[in-house]
Structure 1
Amino acid sequence: MLTKKNWFRVFVLVTLSPVVFASQPALRFGVDLTYPPFQSTDKTGHPAGFEIDVTDALCKSIDAKCDYVINTFDAQIPALLAKKIDVISPLGVTPKRMKAIDFSNYVFHVPTQLVAQKSANLLPQSDVLKGKIIAVQQGSIQEAYANKYWLQAGVNIKSYPDQDAIYQDLYAGRVDGALSPSVGIMFGFLQTPEGKDFELKGPEVTDADLFSAGSAYGIRKNDEQTRKLINQGLQNIIKNGMYEKIKKRYFGDLDLSVKNG
């Protein structure tokens, strides 16, 4: 038999249960997992890397359930627009992309540089690269830059679906160099046995119309709820020091901050 006191307890539990036991917000993040140490797979085949750890921390800070949907890089924006995913793992915020999708606050900035064999006398200049084969990733700002400035000058541009394929052909000598985000090269490919005879060549490659001030999570236009969630998570992990802790674990004191965002 319910006493007045016990009846009150049951009433409170019932009225609160839709809130207390409500499911967590679920977000699907598009990733390609071919770009260590930013995105890759661990020994068990699960998503790993700097961006994955940042995303996991972000999701935990907003009590959200986050799942990873694997796609090639150039398929991420179409997948977002088709609502197959809710968020794209950080990518460069370029004017062209801003016409199609929205972005979160900036997460980091990574320069673009040319990588080639140490013995190769190459620089990221069209006259020096004429007749050479340069690899780029499909759908990337590096591909857009190479096609705009180098292709018409006689440089052979070869596009690949992912960075792993670029590294394989770079090591095998099937391409003369690759235009890629430098941090991934420095802390990924150059740290492997296959990359020991390679180095970054010349200065950072920039273009105000093509390149971005930094990288951010990609979000569908007008999806303000998701954008607010992601930005809140970013703010949380920056404020509590988790972002810096993760960054140092992967890159030490390397400055990834966005200077002109």
Structure 2
Amino acid sequence: MKKALKVLAVAAAIAVSGGVAASAEALKVGVAAEPYPPFTAPDASGKWEGWEVEFMNAMCAEAKLECVLTPVAWDGIIPALTSKKIDMIISSMSITDERLKTIDFSDKYYNTPTGIIGTKGVEMNSSPEGLKGKTLGVQVSTVHQAYAAKHFAPAGVEVKEYQTQDEANNDLAAGRLDAVQADAIALKAFLATDQGKECCEYKGDVAEDVAVIGPGVGVGLRKGETELKDKINAAIKAIRDNGTYDTFSKKYFDFDIYGG
């Protein structure tokens, strides 16, 4: 899902506007503390960058919201939202029926396929039959974990769970896994690294299952915050309509990440 980057310790929230101190009215935007390029990752100085950071900046500016990027461990990011430690989640979180039991979502802001990468030169494909007898790595608390449990485990695939996608990718590169499932774009970003080029190759997209993977990625929000949700939905539509979304997206992708 991502190239191998070490998680940098972030002791304080980083303002979306470039590191300025947050005011009392600023909204804390939760992002997974684990790097997830090309969507989010800290640079050498600790400043977060990537496509999703640019989306956040554009969306908050359009909605006239003061937003502060706040790294949170992925497996605790929904509890952080519901307990009001953060005010929204912008962290490649797929909209699913299971999550909608606990939180709300904005309209989608991107949608990309789910894929499988595996050891270079080893014959396998992205179907349950193609991975039978092999070991598949997934990140915990993700739609990929849920998908693997539903489709791959019953077909005789050993599913191994990891706290971060980096850990799964590293184990694949080291030969401790046969394959990894994650978002196709993030997997291809890993394959573009020196480590990924040497070890691994793309094996294909998995079969669609909207009930598990969802219709796309949305901004996570607390239940009942209708006014904020309306502002965010209007801002997403506006940056799509006025070209801002396409302008920053073209720096990262040569296709429409918004998806069908």
Corresponding residue of 2:139? 137
Q: Name the structure where helix makes up a greater proportion of residues.
A: 1
Deviations 1:144-181 (A, max 9, x none): 01111222332111111122212211211111110110
Tell whether 2:29 aligns with 1:29: yes
Deviations 1:180-220 (A, max 9, x none): 1001112x201100011322113333213212121111111
CA contact (8 A) 2:106 2:229 kept: yes
Equivalent residues in 2 for 1:41-190, closer than 5 Å: 41-89=42-90, 90-186=92-188, 188-190=189-191
Partner SS for 2:124: coil
Deviations 1:108-154 (A, max 9, x none): 10110111122111112223322311110111111001111222332
Paired with 2:145 and 2:52, the residues of 1 have a C-alpha distance of 22
Relative to 1, partners in 2 of residues 1:231 and 1:25: Cα closer, same or farther, differing over 3 Å? farther
> Which amino acid counterpart does residue 159 of structure 1 have in structure 2?
E
Relative to 1, partners in 2 of residues 1:24 and 1:225: Cα closer, same or farther, differing over 3 Å? farther
Number of matched pairs: 235
* Identical amino acids, percent of aligned pairs: 35
CA RMSD after TM alignment: 1.7
Is the radius of gyration larger for structure 1 or structure 2? 1
Paired with 1:244 and 1:179, the residues of 2 have a C-alpha distance of 27
Kindly report structure 1 stretches of 4+ aligned residues shifted beyond 6 Å: none
CA contact (8 A) 2:184 2:205 kept: no
Corresponding residue of 1:236? 238
CA contact (8 A) 2:39 2:51 kept: yes
CA contact (8 A) 2:113 2:205 kept: no
CA contact (8 A) 1:113 1:205 kept: no
TM-score by length of 2: 0.84
Unaligned runs of 5+ in 1: 1-22
Paired with 1:55 and 1:81, the residues of 2 have a C-alpha distance of 20
Compute the displacement of 1:244 (Å).
Answer: 0.5
Partner SS for 1:196: helix
Compute the displacement of 1:25 (Å).
Answer: 4.5
Corresponding residue of 1:12? none
> Which amino acid counterpart does residue 51 of structure 2 have in structure 1?
F
Deviations 1:3-53 (A, max 9, x none): xxxxxxxxxxxxxxxxxxxx7842111111421001111221111110011
